[in-house]
């Protein structure tokens, strides 16, 4: 997103005034899907695409916000619990309210914002928006006292309370903590994380966006989380334990409550257990430069997300099959599912053939072109000017 464009729109809408400019990115995730809300591991990185916002305190209790992309304007009061209706404004309202809960004396502000994270692609444009405003309000009203992890939690709470999506922490975490050229392995139970330089020699990461609109708010995402919670509750009941998430449970315990849960819930819990282990296996393989194993784990994840967790769709399964047939090292659905992109680990020499074939075959079958998005791992939330 061009900062000058945001600057000129802001000036136009707010009487020629000038604020501070902030940015925060979307994310990819190499592996570790639906593990975050189960206390497991994830392995995301920030991307270069993100959200840019110019923000200026206005000395009132009102937020005046202009979405440049949607050409939509609204004003809403910080102290009016209802907040705005449109989701793009609710993210901003939720972040402001959650920052206030942390003791930040948020005042009214004017803002114009725009982004280049493709919407509905599973690259978390919503986390980019939340993290951008959490970072900005911390800087403008909170003397940057709120820690990065708490800024990520502000975004997550916004999803839960203001949008009704019971997501995990991965997307907001990645948007806030990202570093150019580095993936991050996060333990979602302890909050500990490690940066992993990611520059696979001879390989590239590329997203293929099916353009099947992935919209998690109102999707069966919350049901998936509920399935996992059902199994944890059954285990606690049977064993008198106090497990908080599947991370605190064992395969044997899941097997033992088979008769107490639905077959679907057990299948989903088993997927999560396997996925948690796959993240660790991928990290180990990466350290050895063993990209074949990384790729094989990605395919396993795809199969699990498609057959067991049931968050794929026909188009994504098709793209996964095309990748396999082309000899791509690893390929899988990325993000929450129900549409969006596949993420593919491709040998440099196969890159052109694969991307061309994916576009051609997909267009032949579905009558529209998927969008190829090369992955560049970028920086997290920051002040631009
Ligand atoms: C979405 C959610 F927002 C994340 O918290 C995560 O659960 C992901 O789906 C699946 O791994 O992006």
Same domain, 182 and 263: no
80/358 Cα distance (integer angstroms): 49
Same domain, 122 and 261: no
100/94 Cα distance (integer angstroms): 10
pLDDT at 261: 98
Same domain, 332 and 212: yes
Range 305-320 average pLDDT? 98
CA nearest 138: which of 102, 162, 111?
102
pLDDT at 216: 84
CATH classification at residue 285? 3.30.70.890
Same domain, 301 and 179: no
Is the pLDDT confidence value at 1 over 80?
no
pLDDT at 213: 85
CATH classification at residue 46? 3.30.230.10
Domain extent at residue 101: 3-198+378-383
CA of 68 relative to ligand 1 center, distance in Å: 26
CA of 207 relative to ligand 1 center, distance in Å: 17
CA of 29 relative to ligand 1 center, distance in Å: 10
Name the active-site residue from 110, 171, 308, 379. 171
- Asked if residues 62 and 75 have their Cβ atoms less than 8 Å apart, the reply is yes
Give helix 125-141 / helix 87-101 axis angle, nearest 10°.
40
pLDDT at 106: 98
pLDDT at 215: 80
Rounded (5°) CA angle 170-153-90: 100
Same domain, 221 and 115: no
Report the atom number in ligand 1 closest to the C-alpha of 127.
Answer: 3
89/91 Cα distance (integer angstroms): 5
- Catalytic residue flag (residue 171): yes
Each residue's pLDDT tens digit, 42-58:
999 999 999 999 999 99
Residues with CB under 6 A from ligand 1: 33-34, 36-37, 124, 167-168, 170-171, 216, 335-336
Rounded (5°) CA angle 274-275-279: 120
pLDDT at 214: 77
Is the pLDDT confidence value at 143 over 70?
yes
- Domain count of the chain? 2
Range 17-33 average pLDDT? 98
Return the structure tokens found at 272. Answer: 């999560």
What mean pLDDT, rounded, does the chain reach?
97
Considering the chain, what percentage of its residues have pLDDT values greater than 70?
100
Give nearest CA residue, ligand 1 atom 3. 167
Each residue's pLDDT tens digit, 274-310:
999 999 999 999 999 999 999 999 999 999 999 999 9
Same domain, 101 and 134: yes
Same domain, 269 and 340: yes
- Asked if residues 302 and 334 have their Cβ atoms less than 8 Å apart, the reply is no
Each residue's pLDDT tens digit, 206-260:
999 999 987 888 789 999 999 999 999 999 999 999 999 999 999 999 999 999 9
Same domain, 184 and 223: no
Using most ligand atoms within 8 A of CB, pick from 36, 40, 225 the residue to mutate for ligand 1.
Answer: 36
Rounded (5°) CA angle 126-128-133: 100
321/302 Cα distance (integer angstroms): 10
| Burial annotation 117-140 (CB, 10 A radius, 16+ → b, else e) | bbebbbbbbbbbbbbbbbbbbbbb
Is the pLDDT confidence value at 316 over 80?
yes
Confidence of residue 130 (pLDDT cuts 50, 70, 90): very high
Same domain, 135 and 210: no
Confidence of residue 322 (pLDDT cuts 50, 70, 90): very high
Same domain, 190 and 94: yes
CA of 166 relative to ligand 1 center, distance in Å: 9
Same domain, 245 and 171: no
Residue whose pair of structure tokens reads 């005042």 in the numeric block: 107
Count of C-beta atoms within a 10 Å radius of residue 198: 16
217/317 Cα distance (integer angstroms): 22
- Which segments of 142-260 does DSSP mark as H helices, in order? 148-158, 170-177, 221-239, 251-256
pLDDT at 263: 98
What residues form DSSP beta bridges with 150? Answer: none
Is the pLDDT confidence value at 2 over 90?
no
Same domain, 189 and 245: no
CA 260 to chain centre: 33
Each residue's pLDDT tens digit, 146-183:
999 999 999 999 999 999 999 999 999 999 999 999 99
Each residue's pLDDT tens digit, 185-212:
999 999 999 999 999 999 999 999 999 9
């Amino acid at each position: 997103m061009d900062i000058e464009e945001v600057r000129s729109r802001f000036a136009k809408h707010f009487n020629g005034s000038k604020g501070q400019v902030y940015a925060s990115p979307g994310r990819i995730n190499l592996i570790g899907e639906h593990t975050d809300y189960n206390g497991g591991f994830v392995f995301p990185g920030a991307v270069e695409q993100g959200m840019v916002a110019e923000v200026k305190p206005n000395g009132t209790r009102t937020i005046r916000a202009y979405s440049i992309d949607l050409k939509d304007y609204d004003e809403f009061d910080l102290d009016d619990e209802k907040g705005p209706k449109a989701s793009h404004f609710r993210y901003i309202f939720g972040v402001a309210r959650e920052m206030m809960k942390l003791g930040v004396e948020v005042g009214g502000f004017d803002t114009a914002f725009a982004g280049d994270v493709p919407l509905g692609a599973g690259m978390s444009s919503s986390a980019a928006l939340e993290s951008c405003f959490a970072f900005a309000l911390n800087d403008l009203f909170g003397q940057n006292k709120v820690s990065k992890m708490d800024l990520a939690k502000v975004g997550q709470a916004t999803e839960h309370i203001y949008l009704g999506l019971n997501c995990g922490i991965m997307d907001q975490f990645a948007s806030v903590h990202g570093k150019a050229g580095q993936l991050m392995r996060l333990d979602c139970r302890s909050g500990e994380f490690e940066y992993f330089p990611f520059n696979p020699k001879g390989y590239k990461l590329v997203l293929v966006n099916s353009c099947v609109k992935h919209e998690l708010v109102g999707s069966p995402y919350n049901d998936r989380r509920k399935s996992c919670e059902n199994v944890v509750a059954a285990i606690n009941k049977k064993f008198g334990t106090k497990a908080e998430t599947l991370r605190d449970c064992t395969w044997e315990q899941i097997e033992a409550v088979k008769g107490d849960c639905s077959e679907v819930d057990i299948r989903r819990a088993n997927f999560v257990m396997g996925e948690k282990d796959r993240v660790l296996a991928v990290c180990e393989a990466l350290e050895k430069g063993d990209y074949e194993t990384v790729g094989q784990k990605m395919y396993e994840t795809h199969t699990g997300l498609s057959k067991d967790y049931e968050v794929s769709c026909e188009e994504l399964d098709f793209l996964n099959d095309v990748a396999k047939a082309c000899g791509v090292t690893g390929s899988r659905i990325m993000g929450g599912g129900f549409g969006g992109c596949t993420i593919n680990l491709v040998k440099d020499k196969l890159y052109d053939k694969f991307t061309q074939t994916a576009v051609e075959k997909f267009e032949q079958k579905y009558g529209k072109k998927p969008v190829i998005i090369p992955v560049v791992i970028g920086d997290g939330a920051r002040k631009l000017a």
